[in-house]
A and B are shown apart, each in its own frame.
Chain A
């Protein structure tokens, strides 16, 4: 007996929620960024599962594009974090409050 496709979707939902909670409770920018990667991955898992449910490969192609965008996002995001660290000597999200009134 194979695994119902919904189990994969539930697993992806759980991973996504873990990522969301991580972004909300962590303050280290790098760890928050890793949690964003977790969320992107869980969405990829959902796309691949639906690709299997629908019997075509378009979901996998979309998932591939998501990976490309994630790679671009990581390059720019980490460069921003390095710059912030140079400016503030910290990667704490609460230290970035230059716009605070």
Chain B
């Protein structure tokens, strides 16, 4: 019952905020609507007994990622730039038409088999009594979440998926390094591709006495 009420409140909100992201002209407004959309999706996660993901969604998406977006929008000052002019005639109509086709295909192909009333998921409170009758029946997470959702996800991440988990840490380090290299202010275009070669190497290596003295002097002149 709670799930039904929440779903029919949250689903239109989610669709409305998503549409606003596409329709609103001002990028700041679009970003704020996107934050709203992330919150609605977090609520849906909580309804679907994915409490860990609901919290992570709020912290990572609505917190970190959207702050990054807003920061860049403000930094570049592009909130008054208008787009929406059509460069190719009929592009927008074609895009909407293809979108409708894709929506029909996805609804029939992915959601279609699970639209029947027998696919309703049993919540943890109301345990499923008889075993799943139809192949489309929803099993529910009562069993998997028996020790708590965070415990279950954590057990999977640190046993079966520990190798992908380690790889994601490497990925994050690479992303941070990439952002640093890209965000570095370049005096010339060639700086972007050739950072290392422009570094001045002293004759006697970094430990060279004259180089150290010069470094010290430059630091005193301009302590940055």
Instruction: Please name 14 further chain A to chain B contacts, defined as beta carbons within 8 Å, in addition to the given A4-B117, A91-B76, sorted by A numbering.
Output: A2-B120, A3-B7, A4-B138, A5-B114, A19-B18, A25-B22, A30-B72, A33-B69, A34-B31, A53-B114, A61-B157, A68-B171, A79-B178, A80-B182
B206 at the interface (CB under 8 A from A): no
Q: Are A4 and B116 in contact (CB under 8 A)?
A: yes
C-alpha gap A44/B157 in the complex (Å): 17
Closest Cβ of chain A to B11, distance in Å, is: 5
**Chain B contacts to A: CB under 8 angstroms:** 1, 3-4, 7, 11, 14-15, 18-19, 21-22, 27, 30-31, 34, 37-38, 41, 44-45, 48-50, 52-53, 56-57, 60-61, 64-65, 68-69, 72-73, 75-76, 78, 81, 83-85, 87, 91-92, 95-96, 98-100, 102-103, 106-107, 110-123, 138-141, 143-145, 149, 152-153, 156-157, 160-161, 164-165, 168, 171-172, 174-176, 178-179, 182-183, 185-186, 192
Interfacial chain A residues near B186, Cβ < 8 Å: 83, 86
C-alpha gap A10/B99 in the complex (Å): 14
Q: Are A22 and B22 in contact (CB under 8 A)?
A: yes
C-alpha gap A10/B106 in the complex (Å): 8
Closest Cβ of chain B to A60, distance in Å, is: 5
Q: Are A61 and B161 in contact (CB under 8 A)?
A: yes
Q: Name the CB-closest residue of B to A49.
A: B48
Q: Are A16 and B120 in contact (CB under 8 A)?
A: no
Q: Are B81 and A17 in contact (CB under 8 A)?
A: no
Instruction: Give the total number of A-B pairs whose CB atoms are below 8 A apart.
Output: 268
A91-B78 contact, Cβ under 8 Å, with A9-B114, A38-B18: yes
Closest Cβ of chain B to A75, distance in Å, is: 4
Q: Name the CB-closest residue of B to A90.
A: B81
Q: Are A48 and B45 in contact (CB under 8 A)?
A: yes
A57 at the interface (CB under 8 A from B): yes
C-alpha gap A15/B64 in the complex (Å): 21
**Chain A contacts to B: CB under 8 angstroms:** 1-11, 13-22, 24-28, 30-31, 33-35, 37-38, 41, 44-46, 48-49, 51-58, 60-61, 63-65, 67-76, 78-83, 85-86, 90-92, 94
